[in-house]
Structure formats: C-alpha cells, structure tokens
Amino acid sequence: MIKSTLFDLSGKTAIVTGSTKGIGKAIAEELARHGAKVVISSRKADKCQEVAKAIRDEGHAAIGIAAHIGKKEDLENLVSKTRAEFGPADVLVCNAAVNPYYGPMAQLSDDAFSKVMDTNVRSNWWLCNLVAPEMMERKDGSIIIVSSIGGLKGSTTLGIYCISKAADFQLARNLAMEYGPHNIRVNCIAPGLVRTDFASALWTNPELLKRTESHTPLRRIGEPEDLAGAAVYLASRAGAWTTGQMIVVDGGVTSAG
C-alpha cells in the first residue's frame, strides 16, 4: 500500500507569527503535527516558550522566539535565530495583526492609521523580504499571509482594518508574481469571524453572535482549528501549484454576497 506524502512537512522549518494563541497557535500546532519544525513567535517570550514546550511535549520540534512585528530589528533577529536553530525558513506564516480602532473612518487618528498599516502590512512585507533570498537559493518556499474577509467588503466600524487586509491580498499577488519564477508560492487565507480573543468584541455579545450565525450557511462562527488545514495545504506539496490566491474560510458567509 502506498502512503501519501502530499501533506508531509517533514524536514521543513516554519515561522508562524502571532502564534501563542488563536489562529496562529492552531496553525503552528498543525504544521508541527505534519512534521514541520515550528518557530512560535509573539511579543511575550514566556508565552512563546509555553506554547513551544506544549508542542515539544507532543513529540514535535518547536522553539519560541519573541518578536515585536512592528520592529524591523526584531524580525531580523527572528529570522537569524530561526536559521541558527532550525535552518532557513521553508514556510512563513504572517498571522500577527492589530485592530486598535473600532468606529468610523472620519474619527480615525493618524497614529491609529499608521499603526494598523505598519503592523498588518509593512511587517509582512519586511518578513517576506527577509526569508525570500534563501528560499530563492533553494528554489522552494511557501509564504502564507492570514488576511480576512474584511478585506472583501466595506465596513462602517472596521474600515482601517479592512483596508489593511485588502492590502495583504494585493501584497500576496504582487509577491507571487515576483517570486513565482523561483518556485516560491505566496497566498492568503481569509477567515471569517473566528472565536479568538482578537475578535471577542464580535462574538461575546449573545445577540450579535446569534445574528451572525443565522446569516452563516454553516450556522456557526469559526474555531481556530478550522483555519489550520488551509495552512497545511498551502505549506505542503499539496499546494505546489497554488500561488497568488486568496483562500476564504468563513463558513460560507461570503457566498451570500
């Protein structure tokens, strides 16, 4: 009997930002379970070590490296320490993001605008540029940006966040064109509403949650684990001919227009 290796990530090194909780943590855990050596990263070193240890306790390879994605020197350190511990990154998952403002664009401050765009877009661009050269040398690599269905439609309350997520879609498309000749794939995953601390304001209100679920074809919001399979697909040989794409994982919400 032939055993499929289509989703096997053995020997691969994966960096996952914002991976101490929520979607990032679920993705990191599943990449490790498929054989990848995983680097857990967020701002808090103790949380990084805690999640990495839990993955090691499952019998997989993982380390924690703290990094503030808004600081270029932190990202340079993240990539260099990864190289020293596990070798060059084969997979990069840009998951960390911020959303400090909820309200109309007319009242958005300059500082909040800059913070969202710098954190949600520029940091991804920085990281991609840091890992791409060695991927080019090996003629192989997968970059995954966790965006949002918010980037597909307008919003009266999440405007700047949605703008940043739409920009991530275009960043992935641009880099897919640039890196494609080097066999580097760049894609986005676009989640709908997921039960995470990050999105708690949108699902902890019972009335709002009930309304959201009633308009979702699968009649529930997402769980972090619901996004992990898409990341494994894009990171592995299964996704070898997929690039410049946006994979929507939203329970069917956007199918209704």
Give catalytic residue positions. Answer: 161
Alpha-carbon gap, residue 171 to 124, rounded angstroms: 9
Phi, psi of 252 (to 5 degrees): 100, 5
Amino acid letter, 248: V
CA 176 to chain centre: 16
184-191 and 62-64 as β-strands: parallel, antiparallel, unpaired?
unpaired
Q: Three-state secondary structure along 136-185?
A: HHHCCEEEEEECCHHHHCCCCCEHHHHHHHHHHHHHHHHHHHHHHHHCEE
